[in-house]
Structure formats: structure tokens, C-alpha cells
Structure 1
Amino acid sequence: MLTTEWIISFLAFAFSMAISPGPNNLMVMAASSNFGLARTLPHMFGIWIGFFGLLVLTSLGVGSVVKNVPEVYTVMKVLGALYLLYLGVRIAMADNAIESKEARPFTVVEAAGFQLVNPKGWLMALGTASTFAPQGTDPLNYALVAGGFFTLVNIISNGLWALLGRGIAQLLGTPARRRIFNLSMATLLFISIYFIIV
């Protein structure tokens, strides 16, 4: 399975999917700019753990249920969109979030759990399980190998978005600028909902 061609094509797919703007990357960037890189790490760990688990589930056959029963995928899209609406409102309402005791980034468990209703995550996992698994490969072995590669790619991708958020934070010296940034992040999240539903 681990031919040079397979590794190159898989990594190209994984990186193009992982680096593109989506709910995880936008939330990591917003969290990093509002709370700092160190406090955002649990959120990032949760993404890596949750997506790894999602990839194992799809490779072991849960993905075929989602693909073959359109109602299941529709329910997941609606739940994901509603949750993203909630998160977008939460980001938009964050007022000087660094100073607020209630405001915080996702925990490991929250970020991992979000992957179960993250439509982009499901598309990535389904694409990985259906397109790149060689014929006759043991599903669990494939899931572990693909999950390992995808985790490395996600570490790089989320790390770059978190660093971007940290860099932006230096430009957000006033509450008004921070408010504009949070409203912009919420708007981008709302736009991503449109593409998820359509």
C-alpha cells in the first residue's frame, strides 16, 4: 500500500483538504487570536483526535451508511449547520474575549465531538476511505495508516492557521478592532454554512 505514488497523491489530497478554509481552521484562527496559541492547543488536539476517530469509523464501514442513506447525511448536515450557527453567534458576541472569564476556546472533548457533525470533516473522511483505500487492504490497517498521515497534515494545517491568528492578534490592539475581527470570523463561518447546505 505504501508506494511512493500513493503517499504523494494521498498527501496532496490531505493537504489540499486540510489547509482550505473550513469550520475547524476558522475556529482555530479565531481562538488563537482571542486566547493565544497555548490556550488553543487543546482545541487543536481535539480536532486531530476527533478526525482520526472519524476516519477509522468511515474506513470500517460507517461511511457506507452515510453515503448510501441520504437521509442520514442530510440530518448530519442540518445538525452541523445549526451547531456552526451557534458557534458563529458565540464568536460574533465575544467582546474582548481575552478578558472574559466565561469565554474560552474548545476543550479537547468539545473539538473532538464537533468532528461528528462537521460536514467538511465527513467529506474528507469519506473521500479518504472511498478513494484511496487500495483493493484488498485490511480496513483497520488502512484507517490507522491514513489516519496517521492525515494527523500529520492536520497538525501542520491547524498550526499554520493558529499562527496566522496569533499574528492577527498583534494587530487587534483595541476592543473595536477585536470586535471587527470576531464579526468577520463569524461571517466567514456563516458563509461556510451556505456551502455546506448547498
Structure 2
Amino acid sequence: MLPIELLTAFFVTAILLGITPGPDNIFVLTQSAVAGRRAGVAVTLGLLTGIFCHTVAVALGIAVIFQTSPVAFTALKIFGVGYLLYLAWGAFNAGDAKINGKSIQDISFFKLYRRGIIMNISNPKIAVFFLAFLPQFADPALGNIPGQILLLGTIFNIATLIVFMTICYLAGSIGDFLKSSDKAQTILNRIAGTVFVGLALKLAVTSNE
């Protein structure tokens, strides 16, 4: 069992990382503002599932592949960029008709959940980050390194859940307020589309170094 002092330090670090603007929390913010808290909760759970998958990958050593193989890293990155551009296209073409017509609120919880998983899993930089980050808090002297990694990943997920649910609630409130305007949904969709394009560009220029 890792010392409580180390686990506490790790939890605080994870909270700070969750607060720091990044692709995942920006994704939660935009989805919550555009589609409401329900969508934010769904994508948050999807993102957390993705984080858990990255944790397992580190524990099993699979993440090393993305750090050492340019082909694997680039292939996953291309998929991620394509998916983000697909979301951007959908947001730009949504328009204000989404207010009274079929809206993103009508998308099933599972589809929104799946969107969060794809968003997280398709970013190989996260796998590389976890590979560099989690082992720093593991102690070989305590044995069972994979078990320690899984514990740390679970704590990281709990910290991330707290931060993302806070973002989800606040952004959802802002979205509810803005939707009182007839043009608000169009503006929100344009903002979301721009954010998706920005995230796609950011992912496109990342490397595994």
C-alpha cells in the first residue's frame, strides 16, 4: 500500500492537472454549454473510461508502443484529428434550428458517452503522458507495480471526476442562460466548432517526444 502522504500529494496534483485547461476539460465545457449538463455528464463518464483504459495500458506496458512507434502514434493521432474535425463539422452545421428542432439533447446518453471515450482514447499524447506521470508515484520497494499504477489511476479518475462535474454544472448553467436568446444556440455551436478545430490542430502538431 502506498503511503497516505504520497496518495494525498498525488490527488492534489491530479486536481491541479484537471483544472489546467486541456482537451478533455475544454471538451466537457463546450458539450455542457451547448447541450446541457446531461451531455456533460455523459462525455465526462466517457472521458473517465478513456483515462482508465490509458491507466491499464500503462500498467500492462502497452503505452510504450505509442512512445516508441511513430507509426502507431501517428495512426491514432490521425484518427483523433479526423474525429474532432467531424465533431466541428457537425457543430458548424447545427445552426439555431437546434433550439426548437431535433437537438443534441436528443442524442442518446450512450452515444454521448461513446463520444467521450473516443475523444480520450484517440489522443496518443495522453497515453505517453500517463506512461511518464504515473510511475513517478509508484514505489518498486512495495512490489506489485501494476497494482500501484491501477490504484493511482483510480485516484486520478476520482480527482478528474470532481473537476469535470464542477465544470459540467457551471457550463450547463451558463448554457441554460444563453439559450434564452434565439441566436444563442447558433453562437454556442460556432464556439464549439471552433474549439473542436483548435483541438484538432493542437493534436495534429503533437509528437511522441
TM-score, structure 2 length as denominator? 0.80
- TM-superposed deviation, 1:108: 2.6
Quick one: distance in 1 between partners of 2:182 and 2:25?
Answer: 23
CA contact (8 A) 2:30 2:171 kept: yes
CA contact (8 A) 1:30 1:165 kept: yes
CA contact (8 A) 2:59 2:146 kept: yes
Letter in 2 for 1:140: P
Quick one: distance in 1 between partners of 2:85 and 2:128?
Answer: 19
Q: Partner of 1:150 in structure 2?
A: 156
Letter in 1 for 2:102: K
Please state if 1:191 is matched with 2:192. Answer: no
- TM-superposed deviation, 1:5: 4.3
Query: Identity over aligned residues, as a percent?
Result: 24
Q: What is the CA RMSD across the aligned residues, in angstroms?
A: 2.5
Quick one: distance in 2 between partners of 1:164 and 1:192?
Answer: 21
- TM-superposed deviation, 1:39: 4.4
Quick one: distance in 1 between partners of 2:92 and 2:124?
Answer: 21
**Pair 138,55 (structure 1): closer, same or farther in 2 beyond 3 Å:** same
CA contact (8 A) 1:26 1:189 kept: no
- TM-superposed deviation, 1:196: 2.2
Q: Partner of 2:113 in structure 1?
A: 108
CA contact (8 A) 2:66 2:124 kept: no
Output aligned runs, 1:63-82, within 5 Å. Answer: 63-82=63-82
Compare 81-90 and 171-180 and name the one that shifted more. 171-180
Paired residue total: 198
Letter in 2 for 1:135: P
Deviations 1:102-159 (A, max 9, x none): 6336433342243220245324422334433332542431232012101111211211
Residue from 158, 168, 182 that aligns with 1:162: 168
Letter in 1 for 2:116: A
- TM-superposed deviation, 1:168: 1.5
Compare 60-69 and 16-25 and name the one that shifted more. 16-25
Quick one: distance in 1 between partners of 2:69 and 2:125?
Answer: 18
Compare 55-64 and 28-37 and name the one that shifted more. 28-37
Q: Partner of 2:179 in structure 1?
A: 172
Q: Partner of 2:3 in structure 1?
A: 3
